[in-house]
Amino acid sequence: MCVQRDYVSALAGGVAKEMKHTSFVSKHAYVLRLFELVSPVIADDAEDTEESGPPLRVYCPVEGAECYTTLDAAHRAAKHLQIELSHEKIPKGATETKWQKTEVQQLNDFVRNLREVKDGEERFWESEFNGTGLGSKKFQLVVEKVNMCGPRNL
């Protein structure tokens, strides 16, 4: 085992006076929330069923990481998750391939637009989309800012 020491000046540990203090550990995190949108069904008679009201949101756990330290990383993860759930791995035809390419371009533009901050305001990902295949489920994907408190394992 070899240890190499680097030589630094006496001023290396100093902090400039005009530098604003930032905490080492962030107080905020950004979380992906995936919901399945289910239409409520009201049964009046045995034969008649009606859909009414806004859809119900059913939480679906996300495979892998769902908590991110930066907003940009959370937006990119939301984009990848939406692509994974809404696009087929092997498109069946030219129309499907073209749709998937344009959808990826639109999602990339959406992420770029979310990065552009105006007046210090953070903007968060929110989208509704259909899963793959005919008659698939409808999903809602949201990025939320959450506060953390207490000790954290660094």
pTM over 0.85: no
Phi-psi region of 64 (alpha: psi -120 to 50; beta: other; left: phi over 0): left
Provide φ and ψ at 81, rounded to 5°.
-65, -40
DSSP H/E element including 144: strand 138-147
pLDDT tens track of the chain, all 154 residues?
666 666 666 656 655 555 555 556 678 899 999 999 998 876 665 555 566 778 899 999 988 889 998 999 999 999 999 999 999 888 888 998 999 999 999 999 999 999 887 777 889 999 999 988 766 899 999 999 999 887 766 5
The confidence score (pLDDT) of residue 116 equals 83
**What's the pLDDT at 27?**
83
- Which has the closest alpha carbon to 34: 151, 129, 139, 152? 139
Task: Name the 3-class secondary structure at 26.
Answer: coil
What is the per-residue burial (b if ≥16 Cβ within 10 Å, else e) of 49-77? Answer: eeeeeeeeeeeeebeeebebeebeebbbb
Query: Helix (H) and strand (E) counts for the chain?
Result: 2, 7
Enter the DSSP assignment of 118.
B
